C-alpha cells in the first residue's frame, strides 16, 4: 500500500490482496497515514487491488466511519466491484 498527500488530499492506494493475513497491517498503515495528514480529504484508489475479503472490507468500513465526508473509491476493477456490490458497499 502507498499513500499520496497532495494539496490537502490523501489518496490511499490499495494493492494486491487484502485478506485476514494482512488486513491488520493495512489498517495500521491507513490510520498512521491519517495521523500524518490531519484535516486532509481522503480518497481510496483501488487500481492495483486484485481482491478484498471481509477483513479488508471491515478496514474500509472503519475508515469510512471515521470520516465526516464521503469516502470515494476510484479505479475499482470489475472483480473487486462485484465484491463491493455483493456486500452492499456500493
Per-residue pLDDT of the chain (90 residues; tens, 9 = 90+): 999 999 999 999 999 999 999 999 999 999 999 999 998 999 999 999 999 999 999 999 999 999 888 899 999 999 999 999 999 888
Sheet with 9-18, edge to edge strand ranges: 2-6, 9-18, 41-52, 73-74
pLDDT value of residue 90? 81
Q: Which one-letter DSSP state was computed for residue 31?
A: H
Most distant CA pair in the chain: distance in Å?
Answer: 34
Q: What's the grid cell of residue 80?
A: 473487486
Strands 9-18 and 2-6, how do they pair? antiparallel
Give the pTM.
0.91
> Are 22 and 55 spatial neighbours (Cβ–Cβ below 8 Å)?
no
Amino acid at each position: 500500500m502507498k499513500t499520496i498527500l497532495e494539496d490537502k488530499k490523501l489518496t490511499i492506494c490499495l494493492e494486491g490482496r487484502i485478506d485476514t493475513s494482512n488486513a491488520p497491517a493495512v489498517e495500521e498503515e491507513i490510520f498512521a497515514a491519517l495521523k500524518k495528514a490531519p484535516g486532509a480529504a481522503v480518497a481510496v484508489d483501488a487500481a492495483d487491488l486484485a481482491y478484498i475479503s471481509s477483513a479488508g472490507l471491515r478496514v474500509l468500513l472503519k475508515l469510512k466511519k471515521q470520516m465526516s465526508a464521503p469516502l470515494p473509491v476510484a479505479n475499482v476493477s470489475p472483480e473487486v466491484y462485484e465484491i463491493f456490490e455483493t456486500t452492499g458497499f456500493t
